[in-house]
């Protein structure tokens, strides 16, 4: 167990809820999802670029990020870059023209692999983050989802570096949600400023159970012993690399038993939905005996 209780952070999807969420005594935003912003734009990024409409994309993403970062300032806001799957991109205007029909989008062209295949899309998103940072919001962290390999991580880091965000001192985090990140946890962690565990994808990939399947999802929880072993490896690897490790999947918001297990493993931060904040604090305090 860590020498101090973990920080309790918040997961957010809708920027308009940031002000009310910021009234909670949370340590910051452990996960700001970008997907709601993309759905708000309503048009596939490549379709926007083809018609010269990138300004609309930048305005929506920059303003959404600014709304959250200002509400929580100076507390950190961890912005996870877009992780829509190809079927979700296909639902956007112009999406069918630019997206393949994948048999299993959940393990298809998403996250870091997508940024390397579609760098022009990723560049738009990084430009929006750069505008927010240049506007004085130095509490923003950048987090890359669904990283599969070390080579992939290195290539995405090059894209982020080319945007100028690393030179501006923006911390770079990754999601640990693929079993490879547990097997090589220290090596992945050594390349970044922080690691955040995605319990949803980690559980489905460790257990081979589609989390979108109503028949399977409830039978293969993140508290399964094999998933907890993967989480323990990620926590230990991050500690060995000297970087902070958090968890931001949905499971801790629903399961205080998992929260207690995470505290015992020595995790640095637990990020939950605002409605679960107080219950999570109580669960942490039941283990540590100290105020979270």
Residues 180 and 148: beta-carbon distance below 8 Å: yes
98 preceded by a cis bond (ω within 30 of 0): no
Cα-based distances in Å from 85 to 37, 108, 195, 201? 15, 7, 22, 13
Q: Supply φ then ψ for residue 25, to 5 degrees.
A: -80, 50
| Whole-number pLDDT of residue 2 | 55
- Per-residue pLDDT tens over the stretch 113-128: 999 999 999 999 999 9
Low-confidence ranges of the chain (pLDDT < 50): none
- Per-residue pLDDT tens over the stretch 207-235: 998 877 878 877 888 999 999 999 999 99
| Whole-number pLDDT of residue 262 | 97
Structural domains of the chain in order of their starting residue, each with its CATH number = 7-288 (3.20.20.60)
Q: Given the DSSP bridges, would you call strands 29-33 and 77-80 parallel, antiparallel or unpaired?
A: parallel
| Whole-number pLDDT of residue 1 | 52
Q: Given the DSSP bridges, would you call strands 7-12 and 269-272 parallel, antiparallel or unpaired?
A: parallel
Q: What is the distance between the alpha carbons of residues 204 and 57, in angstroms, rounded to a whole number?
A: 32
Secondary structure of 192-203 in HEC code, one letter for each residue: CCEEEECHHHHH
Q: What is the distance between the alpha carbons of residues 214 and 104, in angstroms, rounded to a whole number?
A: 16
| Whole-number pLDDT of residue 100 | 87
Radius of gyration for the chain, computed over Cα atoms and rounded to the nearest angstrom: 18
| Whole-number pLDDT of residue 291 | 67
Residues 26 and 89: beta-carbon distance below 8 Å: no
Q: What is the distance between the alpha carbons of residues 43 and 91, in angstroms, rounded to a whole number?
A: 9
DSSP state of 6: P
Whole-model pTM?
A: 0.94
């Amino acid at each position: 167990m860590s020498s101090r209780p973990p920080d309790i952070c918040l997961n957010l999807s809708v920027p308009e809820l940031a002000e009310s969420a910021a009234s909670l005594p949370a340590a910051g935003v452990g996960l700001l999802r970008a997907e709601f912003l993309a759905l708000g734009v309503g048009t596939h990024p490549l379709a926007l670029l083809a018609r010269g409409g990138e300004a609309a994309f930048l305005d929506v993403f920059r303003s959404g990020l600014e709304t959250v970062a200002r509400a929580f300032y100076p507390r950190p806001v961890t912005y996870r870059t877009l992780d829509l799957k190809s079927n979700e991109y296909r639902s956007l205007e112009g999406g069918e023209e630019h997206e393949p029909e994948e048999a299993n989008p959940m393990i298809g062209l998403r996250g870091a692999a997508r940024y390397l295949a579609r760098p022009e899309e990723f560049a738009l998103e990084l430009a929006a983050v750069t505008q927010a940072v240049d506007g004085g919001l130095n509490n923003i962290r950048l987090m890359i989802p669904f990283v599969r390999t070390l080579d992939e991580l290195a290539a995405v880091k090059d894209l982020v570096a080319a945007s100028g965000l690393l030179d501006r001192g923006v911390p770079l985090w990754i999601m640990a949600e693929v079993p490879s990140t547990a097997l090589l946890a220290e090596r992945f962690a050594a390349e970044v400023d922080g690691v955040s565990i995605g319990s949803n994808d980690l559980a489905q990939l460790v257990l081979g159970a589609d989390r979108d399947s109503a028949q399977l999802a409830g039978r293969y929880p993140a508290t399964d012993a094999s998933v907890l072993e993967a989480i323990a490896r990620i926590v230990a690897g991050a500690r060995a690399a000297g970087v902070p490790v958090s968890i931001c999947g949905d499971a801790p918001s629903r399961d205080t038993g998992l929260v207690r297990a995470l505290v015992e493993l020595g995790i640095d931060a637990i990020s939950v939905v605002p409605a679960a904040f107080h219950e999570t604090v109580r669960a942490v305090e039941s283990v540590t005996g100290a105020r979270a």
